[in-house]
Amino acid sequence: AQTVTQSQPEMSVQEAETVTLSCTYDTSENNYYLFWYKQPPSRQMILVIRQEAYKQQNATENRFSVNFQKAAKSFSLKISDSQLGDTAMYFCAFMTIYNTDKLIFGTGTRLQVFP
């Protein structure tokens, strides 16, 4: 069975600084998807970024980028130029390509951005 681990329950960063959130996962599969989702206080879950395991190039979306290390089963999220609106819970999630609509989530990291 696949598992996703987020070892940082809480993190904080000053506005305009850079922060990295960690995620590790366990799977015996070779092809899969990894995601970062953001859940602000409004509770609306928002897709931040997606990575396909068979692509070596790290995904980027504006200020958000990932460091995908397949051999180490590591998938960290880097937020550059942090903004107050980035304050939220961040969830790392795994999905196999064979069960394309079942997300397995980590426990989340609460990120607080300070002015």
User: Quick check: 108 binds other proteins (CB under 8 A)?
Assistant: yes
User: Quick check: 5 binds other proteins (CB under 8 A)?
Assistant: no
Using CB under 8 A as the criterion, what x/- string covers residues 60-99 for binding other proteins? -------------------------------x---x-x-x
Two tokens, residue 10 = 């809480």
* Residues near other proteins (CB under 8 A): 33, 35, 37, 42-47, 50, 91, 95, 97, 99-108
